[in-house]
């Protein structure tokens, strides 16, 4: 799995961090997404898929 994020689209909702904190974080100064793991381990797959599906800005892309 390869994850990419779009910082311009990101609206800082924080859903990805609440769902998959090992893969996503937010910048302290503006809440914009930080990708911690662009190729997360298999145990994270379902959480990452969930985070991408519920992102209100559709700012997370997954290639599998």
Partner 1 sequence: MSQHEQVLNYPIPNDAALEPPAEWAELRSKCPVAHVTLPSGDQATLLTRYDDVKEVLADPRFTRQLSAPDAARLSAEGGGVFSSDLAQIIPDGGEEHQHWRRLVSRWFTAKRMNALRPSMAKTAEELIDDMVKRGVPGDLKADLGFPLPVYVICDMLGVPAADRDRFSYWSDTMLNLTRYTQAEIEASQLEFFQYMSGHVAAKRAAPDDDLLSGLIAAGTPEEGGLSDLQIQVTGIALLVAGHETTANMIGKMVAMLLADRSRWERLLADPSLIRTTVEESLRLDANSGFGLPRYLREETEVSGTHLPKGTTVVCSMAAANRDESAFEAADQMDMTRSPNPHLSFGAGAHSCLGQALARTELQVVLEVLLRKLPTLDLAVPVAELERVEGLAVGGLRTLPVRW
Residue of 32, 47, 34 whose CA lies nearest to 4: 34
Strands 2-5 and 60-63: antiparallel
Contact 35, 2 (CB under 8 A): no
Site string for partner 1, 1-40 (x = CB under 8 A): ----------xxxxx-xx--x---xxxxxxxx--------
Six-digit token pair at 28?
């302290």
Give the residue with the Cβ less far from partner 1, 1 or 13: 13
Size of interface with partner 1, in residues (CB under 8 A): 23
Binding site for partner 1 (CB under 8 A): 11-15, 17-18, 21, 25-32, 46, 49-50, 53-54, 56-57
């Amino acid at each position: 799995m390869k994850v990419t994020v779009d910082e311009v689209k990101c609206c800082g909702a924080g859903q990805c961090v609440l769902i998959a904190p090992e893969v996503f974080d937010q910048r302290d100064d503006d809440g914009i997404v930080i990708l911690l793991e662009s190729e997360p381990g298999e145990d994270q797959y379902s959480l990452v898929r969930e985070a991408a599906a519920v992102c209100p800005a559709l700012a997370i892309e997954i290639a599998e």
